[in-house]
Copies of this chain bind each other. A is one copy, B any other.
Amino acid sequence: MPSARRTYTFLGPEGTFTEAALLQVPDAAESLRIPSSNVNAALDRVRDGSADAAMVPIENSVEGGVTATLDSIATGQELRIIREALVPISFVLVARAGVELSQIRRISTHGHAWAQCRLWVDEHIPGAEYIPGSSTAAAAMGLLEDDAHYDAAICAPIVAAEQPALHVLAENIGDNPGAVTRFILVSRPGILPARTGADKTTVVVPLPEDRPGALMEILDQFATRGVNLSRIESRPTGQYLGHYFFSIDADGHVGDARVADALAGLHRISPATRFLGSYGRADAQAPVVPEHTSDEAFQAAHAWVKGILAGDSLGPETLVEASPSA
């Protein structure tokens, strides 16, 4: 199918950091890119086949993606993460032409962006009132509407660059200059990216409640196989207080024996464990794998046990069979 153009969706609107992340995917520039109004909508487009994949934020996002993404991929029809992307985050304060910093009383942006610019705002516009926005880009575009009930917005530099009617009052106003957001590319099951040697595996593990210490048991499944975790986040299941699932990124690929073995262990402890994909790390950093957790060690171990089970069952007449009461 040489001519089939792929369809991507992303957490919109256009001009957010998420579209920047999507454009890191090799064929995204020449593919169809459909903005979705929220993470659920983006993932639903993948689920119903109207998009091939969705780019959504998963960690430390400024667009509200984190918990929405964690919860949305953890439930409903299964999905797979097939890629990750990192995007540096910086913020600008924008207003309509003619508005000056000293005139600003009410600022709109997404709640996460607001949180990341609090120090700057407290210092430069003390007493500013916060107006919640559904995204940084929406807040910025809202300034151009006639009935805008706020004076300025905090958004990504790209939005300001593309919209001449917006005036940048201040740049790099984020409290943490090295801020980065991690995004994931999500598709339907059926795609398992090849091992690169520097991979990451994401799982969702509901915390079993019938046993105390279940979280330690879960972590132990990784530790016993020498699999390091790069992210672990608790999320309420929404059923009742104290009922959690854990969203975990582990070093390695399900094609690595140590990871496959750890996953099997998780499944035993928490049978509703969900596999969300193995994919190359954006930083391409390969883990150090001790010899006793190498693929070779696992293969040798399984061959050894198989040999015991097979090789020792020889012959119809054995001492044991002669001892029926044994």
Contact = CB atoms under 8 A, between A and B. Distances in A.
B319 A6 contact: yes
Interface string A309-326: 101111101111011111
Interface string A133-152: 11000000000000101000
A320 B269 CA distance: 31
A238 B229 CA distance: 19
Interface of A: 1, 6, 25-27, 52-53, 59-60, 80, 82-83, 86, 111, 116, 130, 132-134, 147, 149, 175-176, 178-180, 182, 185, 187, 189-194, 208, 212-213, 215-217, 219-221, 223-224, 228-234, 236, 238-242, 244, 254-255, 260, 263-265, 267-269, 271, 275, 279-280, 292-293, 297-298, 300-302, 304-305, 308-309, 311-315, 317-320, 322-326
30 contacts: A6-B322, A26-B324, A59-B241, A82-B326, A86-B241, A116-B238, A132-B132, A180-B241, A185-B319, A187-B319, A190-B318, A191-B319, A191-B320, A193-B320, A215-B232, A216-B219, A219-B219, A220-B224, A224-B265, A233-B234, A254-B308, A254-B309, A260-B305, A263-B308, A264-B305, A267-B297, A267-B300, A267-B301, A267-B305, A268-B300
